[in-house]
Structure 1
Amino acid sequence: MHLPPGIEWSYEDATMMYWSRDNVTNNSSNGSDITTLTLTGATIASPIIMFLSVSFLLLPFLQIGNLLALVVLHRTRMESQRMMFHSLVAGLVWNDLTGIVLTSPVTIASYINGLQMPGGEHLCRFNGFIMICFGLSTPLIVSAMAIERFLFVKYTFFYTKHCAPGVARLVIIAIWAFVLFFGLLPMFGFGNYVLQYPRTWCFLDFRTHNPVHAAYGYMYSSLNLLLVVVMVMCNLVVVLTLARVRGYRRKHSNTSVNSVMMADAMMDDSQKQQAVRRRKQKDIELQMIVVMCAITTIFAVCWAPLMIHISLTLATEGKTLDVLGLVAVRLASLNQTLNPWLYVILRRALIVRVQRYCCRWRRWLRTTPRL
């Protein structure tokens, strides 16, 4: 394909956009330097309309989930102040909420603008930078949560001595320092941000033939896949360790029910309160394990397809379906929706209330005479 001189181009799936230095072509009323060449037959009107509708319908849902999670964390702030895990959860919720606020308006504005990103190349680079930053910060925070649970179970003494809520804040600061550094690399020539199909969002150029830009894409996808492996391995170790400990206790516990009742009767009030606190602490720890496993599973399901798609596209020099990339990034963005809802829904207090409601409903059905 012949291009006019002085034109830089970047592949963007079914369309190509050219950022003109010489104002060779101008198809915008506001004098932008953008020329669009649409390839024949490259239209997916129905999926675009569907995704546009979903974006508008899900936006309030996204915000409600994050806000509910923040309310729950605030109500449990006394317990959160003593536990590093809750500080990391709070950081994850704020991270997801900020990511939604910064990325969604650009995509929606591009749809409203007729699949043209307002703001041109500068907004595209900003959107790509934000996508990369939050595409790394979320898995890094979730990995930190998995490692925190691993240290708590396997290295209790080290955890008690070194892992305080203040450490969680330092971890989040360190994560964002690394994320900002990684996201700024394309600004200095290592990697590139380009418009992606269907011209409503920008991301790293994973269809490039430039080996330097391709190396950046490989680094991004490999790092994310490595983080998924770290999460899965840490959670497997935690779950297997707890299952082994519980099985050992159940096997070697010869204490009868009567002796337990007698021991409870002999306890004074302070000892009973300590026993209640220990049981509550065990329930909280079990809840954290359940939440962590759920978040890891959802993250792996949502993020792995995009990382695999990026790696395959780079390896095959762009010989992958464009629509798959769009579906993969939509699936990845869904992760920010589900994370806070998992924390809200999987809280033990809510589960107990749901169980009580179900029991009452069953009793009502049994006692209600049938016609």
Structure 2
Amino acid sequence: MRTMNNNSHTPLCYSNTSTPFKYAPDLGNVLYSATFTTLGLASNLIAFIVLVKSFQRTQSRSRSFFLIFLGGLVTTDLMGLLVTGTVVISFYITRVDWRQSDPTCHFCNFMGMSMVFYGLCPLMLGATMAVERFIGINRPFARSTSMSKGRTVSMVLMVWFVAGCISLLPLAGFGSYHIQTPGSWCFLNISSEGTDWAFSVLFSLVGLFCITVSFLLNTVSVVTLIKVCCGPDRAQRRRDHEVEMMVQLILIMAIATICWCPLLVFIAQTALSGGHVNIVYLLRWIRFATWNQILDPWVYILFRRAVLKRAHPRLDWSRSSIITLYPSFRDRVRRMTRSSLGSNLGSNGGEEMEKSNVATSPASPL
């Protein structure tokens, strides 16, 4: 095992000052990496096929918009696993030392950009989906008059563009990418000095901000959806698609929060405190974060009405809203929402929303 010394002839990406680098190909396991990558790729491919079939069958505009966002998310996860997994597996098989084979840091910079890009994209897409659902549930008329499939695709492309711009900042001198132990990957240099500090904090804050936005907007959307579903009988209407989409979105948010928060908090804490990077914790939280790419697709695969209907065939999934299958729960939530938020949406607001939905979405089963 060799330790790299900093000197004037060492390229920047190999001259870590805050993260002690050790070339240690025996530290990891090629079998674990290969299994992890294969499982993730297979899961995302299955999810992609499911999304394509669902998109072809759907007759709801709001559902089609949501499926486009899900398609962007599963594509991002798939490509992220393919790129990073290929690099890591190749390292453990060939035991290549990047300091010798990549003296110009081109490959290391590419790996670092990939880690940042494919890390931020799912978080930013999750926040964008939360915004879309918030507008769709709380302002359905505004969304119906302004949204289209082309605009939805443009929003996904915009998220990719913003994440790509952030990942390119170190190449412009704002931060830097450095090789990390055991030598199979490169990542941003977590440091308390200069632009490395600024880029570390930026990466962490962007991720945490996206998670916070998702949590706040999804909470409001769930409360509004429950209130509409549990309102007076004359204001009730079928909300099956909305409930299904919100369940999936909440699970996506929960997975992203659990997988990414430890790493984002660790990066921010290390950069702000000025301490040295604990490589054991860094490796642990990086591996923990990559589970997001494996768990995400199973939300789309398992938590669909078609699957739930097979799991519980005795329930009347076609005529009743999912939440109104339980009258006692419905009555309890109705009382809670009335006392906490008032009954405007259940009466006048509910009727206005119902009119706007009928006027703007004649093909919708809602």
- TM-score, length basis structure 1: 0.75
Inter-partner Cα distance in structure 1 for 2:109 and 2:272: 24
Amino acid at match of 1:204: L
Inter-partner Cα distance in structure 2 for 1:3 and 1:140: 36
Instruction: Tell whether 2:329 aligns with 1:351.
Output: no
1:90 aligned to which of 46, 67, 71: 71
- Any unmatched runs of 5+ in structure 1? 17-35, 37-42, 256-277, 359-371
- Secondary structure of 2:246's match? helix
Matches within 5 A, 1:1-371: 5-8=8-11, 9-11=15-17, 13-15=19-21, 48-49=28-29, 52-76=30-54, 77-79=56-58, 82=61, 83-114=64-95, 116-117=97-98, 119-120=101-102, 121-206=105-190, 208-249=191-232, 279=238, 282-356=239-313
In the superposition, relative to structure 1, how do residues 249 and 319 fare at CA in structure 2: closer, same or farther (>3 Å)? farther
- Secondary structure of 1:335's match? helix
Instruction: Single out whichever of 128-137 and 69-78 deviates more from structure 2.
Output: 69-78
The alpha carbon displacement at 1:89 in A equals 0.7
In the superposition, relative to structure 1, how do residues 168 and 81 fare at CA in structure 2: closer, same or farther (>3 Å)? farther
- Secondary structure of 2:175's match? coil
Greater C-alpha radius of gyration: 1
Inter-partner Cα distance in structure 2 for 1:283 and 1:62: 29
Amino acid at match of 2:214: M
Is the contact between residue 103 and residue 131 of structure 1 (CA under 8 Å) also seen in structure 2?
yes
- Secondary structure of 2:119's match? helix
Which residue does the alignment assign to 1:367? Answer: none
Is the contact between residue 19 and residue 277 of structure 2 (CA under 8 Å) also seen in structure 1?
no
Amino acid at match of 2:40: L
Inter-partner Cα distance in structure 1 for 2:264 and 2:43: 25
Inter-partner Cα distance in structure 1 for 2:25 and 2:184: 13
Aligned residues: 303
The alpha carbon displacement at 1:123 in A equals 1.2
Is the contact between residue 217 and residue 311 of structure 1 (CA under 8 Å) also seen in structure 2?
yes
Inter-partner Cα distance in structure 2 for 1:11 and 1:165: 48
- Secondary structure of 2:152's match? helix
Is the contact between residue 191 and residue 212 of structure 1 (CA under 8 Å) also seen in structure 2?
yes
The alpha carbon displacement at 1:5 in A equals 4.8
Q: Identity over the aligned pairs, expressed in percent?
A: 29
In the superposition, relative to structure 1, how do residues 219 and 79 fare at CA in structure 2: closer, same or farther (>3 Å)? same
Inter-partner Cα distance in structure 2 for 1:321 and 1:63: 30
The alpha carbon displacement at 1:220 in A equals 0.8
Inter-partner Cα distance in structure 2 for 1:113 and 1:355: 50
Instruction: Single out whichever of 71-80 and 347-356 deviates more from structure 2.
Output: 71-80
Inter-partner Cα distance in structure 2 for 1:126 and 1:357: 52
- Any unmatched runs of 5+ in structure 2? 316-366
Inter-partner Cα distance in structure 1 for 2:253 and 2:101: 36
Instruction: Output one character per residue of 1:75-134: Cα deviation in whole Å (capped at 9) or x when no partner.
Output: 122427832111111111111111111111111112223373484222111100111111
Is the contact between residue 188 and residue 200 of structure 2 (CA under 8 Å) also seen in structure 1?
yes
Is the contact between residue 73 and residue 90 of structure 1 (CA under 8 Å) also seen in structure 2?
yes
Is the contact between residue 25 and residue 95 of structure 2 (CA under 8 Å) also seen in structure 1?
no
- Secondary structure of 1:53's match? helix
Q: Which has the higher contact order (CA 8 A, sep 6+)?
A: 2
The alpha carbon displacement at 1:316 in A equals 2.4
- Secondary structure of 1:48's match? coil
Instruction: Output one character per residue of 1:161-208: Cα deviation in whole Å (capped at 9) or x when no partner.
Output: 1122221111011112212221111111111000112221111101x3
In the superposition, relative to structure 1, how do residues 138 and 105 fare at CA in structure 2: closer, same or farther (>3 Å)? same
Inter-partner Cα distance in structure 2 for 1:112 and 1:318: 34
In the superposition, relative to structure 1, how do residues 227 and 5 fare at CA in structure 2: closer, same or farther (>3 Å)? closer
Over the aligned positions, Cα root-mean-square deviation in angstroms equals 2.6
- TM-score, length basis structure 2: 0.76
The alpha carbon displacement at 1:66 in A equals 1.1
In the superposition, relative to structure 1, how do residues 119 and 162 fare at CA in structure 2: closer, same or farther (>3 Å)? farther
Inter-partner Cα distance in structure 2 for 1:294 and 1:60: 23
Inter-partner Cα distance in structure 2 for 1:326 and 1:7: 24
Amino acid at match of 2:91: S
Is the contact between residue 192 and residue 273 of structure 2 (CA under 8 Å) also seen in structure 1?
no
Inter-partner Cα distance in structure 2 for 1:230 and 1:309: 20
The alpha carbon displacement at 1:352 in A equals 1.3
- Secondary structure of 1:198's match? coil
